[in-house]
Structure 1
Amino acid sequence: MIPTLEWLPNGVNFLDQTKLPLEETYVLATDYKQVATVIRDMIVRGAPAIGVSAAMGVALGVNQSHAKDIPTLNTEVAVICDTLAATRPTAVNLFWAIERMRQRYSALADANATIPEIKAALITESRLMYDEDITACKAMGAHGAELLPKQGTVLTHCNAGALATCGYGTALGVIRAAVERGHKIDVFADETRPYLQGARLTAWELLHDNIPTTVLCDNMAGSLMRQGKIQSVIVGADRIAANGDTANKIGTYSVAVLAKEHGIPFYVAAPLSTIDPATAHGDLIPIEQRSATEVTHSNGRQMTPNGAAIENPAFDVTPAKYITAIITERGILRAPYEQSIAEMMKQAASEPELAAI
């Protein structure tokens, strides 16, 4: 599998996704502040990968602490967690992972564990989350593969593959699983402006797996749907509200509306950690606003006139009514999503041995 990130004795190693597809290089983050920079600058990206990166950032920060007592370490842990939480606001996996690490730390401190024991346990926890993410992606693939056509073309938007996770992928994991089962699938990858995750990343990793892939300009999807050239759409998610409304990379909403108009199934693939029961509906999901230079410049060259106003929201929200099904590691959710999501989250809470998978 593509090594998106890896815990090493001297830090966390990240595949630099800003350099793909032309350059395969790595960035070693040797402290938690560098992990925060890696997340903020999109060297690592994708909600599941961001979550595990943050967990490893917490473990790295605590492991490097020189605190001699728990009260001092408590203060340091709060700063570490707050620093990592401030990197990107939309991907709920970030906050889920930090909270899980915080709770693990608190349980150890309350049990009078020694500081060396706490450090070792947090490293183990973050590495466990890495393994769990890969397991979850493969489970999503198993659940979702049969939803895709036996033969046909599947459209995806942004990158929800191995590069967005710890391995295998969410939406692309479902595609991979379908191909592994013998489906004859070609992929249309929206270029995904302005950061071009589809053109740079999705195409790179699918071709790496010998899955036929065609890159589309973002404004081509509707025309191809009208011509009957797209049989299914599958995307990932950065946050799913309690009612099924889903935040994903900007442009996803337009694709969903077009799919609905043309009678094409529109699927979302995401782990349970991407579902945010505390957010009732999509209007409450915070949307990250990114630098204007991502729009004004391409490869360092200015593309827009000076003085032009720029909008650059990183995400939009697709209302649940446009979503045919949500594929998770525990199974497939269908409307009414308020009910199916609540039931699945309740089941996960009652089966702790599966809740983190």
Structure 2
Amino acid sequence: MADQYARTGEDRCPSGIPVLRWEELPGGPALVLLDQTRLPAEEAELVCPDPSALVEAVRSLAVRGAPLLGIAGAYGVALAAARGFAVEEAAAELAGARPTAVNLAVGVRRAHTAYRDALAESGDPGRAAAAALTAARALHREDAEASARMAGHGLALLDELLPGGGHRILTHCNTGALVSGGEGTAFAVALAAHRAGRLRRLWVDETRPLLQGARLTAYEASRHDMAYTLLTDNAAGSLFAAGAVDAVLIGADRVAADGSVANKVGSYPLAVLARYHHVPFIVVAPVTTVDPGTPDGGSIEVEQRPGCEVTEVTSPWVRKTGAGGGIPVAPLGAQAYNPAFDVTPPELVTAIVTEEGAVSPVTAEALVELCARSRQVTMS
């Protein structure tokens, strides 16, 4: 089990929020995470001394967001190696903790490959553990750099599509520093617009049932003094009808080879609304989120979350009384449909913005070229 303690204020990401760090503790190394289930009521950290504690943190959403899950997965492999756990088993358990988020498996695989290669070369478990940690730290650094490049490319695209500034951007779920080694994906673009004086309003979808928009995106927006307004998910249609949305910016947990995008449930309805109202629908995600091994949207495994997340409301402020640890809002025994994600087809996506640039229109051929360009940049 992970241990919880108050934050120290050290090792913060660029936005000033402590999200994830490797720590050498007296009892051995550990991965320290900002517990996102406690936000915004409390900034508290979880200490994960072993891979099983990290898996629990991933499944409980204490740590979340596709890019950050990849980083956490890589550090998890390094943690297993440094602590003397069975690395193969830990890697498999970590990679499967949240099946839709492809970055998690990518991060695990990167550190695991570094570990196996070093072990085969040297036969020294200590040297292999160090190699896994080096790979995790490199991924962490690269994600921060990718975040900055995505923000630049995204802002340039917004300015091209919406000349004159004064952007009114609608976003869904949370895509800021809480999901990244840097300042995020879609949120980083909105933040760049804010810093450039070109953001008029950030519309923040509440994002039911776990309120990542209300709890996390609003938390980040307030820290940056952004002009933002929170709305319930089902109020988005009235905003579009009023002509109050200039662009939709979301992240992604997986992009299939054909350009289908899996993101937090509620994204697909926004894409349909955006298309009807002739509003750009833009996905911002690192190239590692593109999965050539998933041919189309129908092939994406969509994680099903516990029904109690729908039948109960959780709050870090209120005493929990329900069977699932929340406040019951539905009759006892009510069944709930609770997919964590939905899938938006490529024809509804105006552009996918990555650290290597924007893809528009979104086609399988364009994504193949993007991934090839990314590999060339990585190898050079």
TM-score, length-scaled by structure 2: 0.88
Give 1:133-172 correspondences, 5 Å limit.
133-148=143-158, 149=162, 150-172=165-187
What's the secondary structure of 2:347's corresponding residue? helix
Tell me how far apart the structure 1 counterparts of residues 59 and 137 of structure 2 sit (CA, whole Å): 21
Contact 1:51 1:94 in 2 (8 A): yes
Are residue 94 (structure 1) and residue 113 (structure 2) matched?
no
Tell me how far apart the structure 2 counterparts of residues 237 and 323 of structure 1 sit (CA, whole Å): 12
In structure 2, the CA distance between the partners of 1:336 and 1:297, relative to structure 1 (3 Å rule), is closer
Contact 2:168 2:203 in 1 (8 A): yes
1:118 Cα offset (Å): 1.2
Give 1:234-313 correspondences, 5 Å limit.
234-299=249-314, 300-313=326-339
1:109 Cα offset (Å): 2.3
Aligned to 2:43: 24
Aligned-pair identity (%): 41
Aligned to 1:322: 348
Contact 1:4 1:167 in 2 (8 A): no
Are residue 348 (structure 1) and residue 374 (structure 2) matched?
yes
Q: Report the RMSD for the aligned CA atoms in angstroms.
A: 1.3
Q: Which has the higher contact order (CA 8 A, sep 6+)?
A: 1
Residues 25-48 of structure 1: per-residue CA shift (max 9 Å, x gap): 111111111111111110001011
Tell me how far apart the structure 2 counterparts of residues 37 and 190 of structure 1 sit (CA, whole Å): 27
Tell me how far apart the structure 2 counterparts of residues 146 and 156 of structure 1 sit (CA, whole Å): 18
Tell me how far apart the structure 1 counterparts of residues 67 and 123 of structure 2 sit (CA, whole Å): 29
Aligned to 2:132: 122
Are residue 45 (structure 1) and residue 64 (structure 2) matched?
yes
Contact 1:3 1:167 in 2 (8 A): no
Please, which moves more after superposition, 324-333 or 115-124?
Answer: 115-124
Are residue 334 (structure 1) and residue 360 (structure 2) matched?
yes
Runs of 4+ off more than 3 Å:
none
Aligned to 2:74: 55
Tell me how far apart the structure 2 counterparts of residues 257 and 109 of structure 1 sit (CA, whole Å): 50
Tell me how far apart the structure 1 counterparts of residues 206 and 227 of structure 2 sit (CA, whole Å): 15
Aligned to 1:69: none
Aligned counterpart in structure 2 of residue 81 of structure 1, from 91, 103, 110: 91
1:95 Cα offset (Å): 0.8
What's the secondary structure of 2:203's corresponding residue? strand
Tell me how far apart the structure 2 counterparts of residues 96 and 146 of structure 1 sit (CA, whole Å): 28
Residues 165-194 of structure 1: per-residue CA shift (max 9 Å, x gap): 123000001111222223133100100000
Contact 1:240 1:247 in 2 (8 A): yes
AA at the equivalent of 1:189 = V
Residues 99-156 of structure 1: per-residue CA shift (max 9 Å, x gap): 1112212221232252221111211111111111111111100111122341031000
What's the secondary structure of 1:215's corresponding residue? strand
Are residue 212 (structure 1) and residue 227 (structure 2) matched?
yes
AA at the equivalent of 1:78 = E
Tell me how far apart the structure 2 counterparts of residues 310 and 184 of structure 1 sit (CA, whole Å): 38
Tell me how far apart the structure 1 counterparts of residues 199 and 104 of structure 2 sit (CA, whole Å): 35
TM-score, length-scaled by structure 1: 0.94
What's the secondary structure of 2:36's corresponding residue? coil
Tell me how far apart the structure 1 counterparts of residues 254 and 354 of structure 2 sit (CA, whole Å): 13
What's the secondary structure of 1:247's corresponding residue? strand
Contact 1:92 1:238 in 2 (8 A): yes
AA at the equivalent of 2:256 = A
Unmatched segments (≥5 aa) in structure 2: 1-14, 315-325
Tell me how far apart the structure 2 counterparts of residues 257 and 19 of structure 1 sit (CA, whole Å): 33
Contact 2:281 2:351 in 1 (8 A): yes
In structure 2, the CA distance between the partners of 1:336 and 1:53, relative to structure 1 (3 Å rule), is closer
Tell me how far apart the structure 1 counterparts of residues 72 and 362 of structure 2 sit (CA, whole Å): 33
AA at the equivalent of 2:140 = Y
Contact 2:69 2:104 in 1 (8 A): yes
What's the secondary structure of 1:351's corresponding residue? helix
Contact 1:246 1:319 in 2 (8 A): yes
Aligned to 2:206: 191
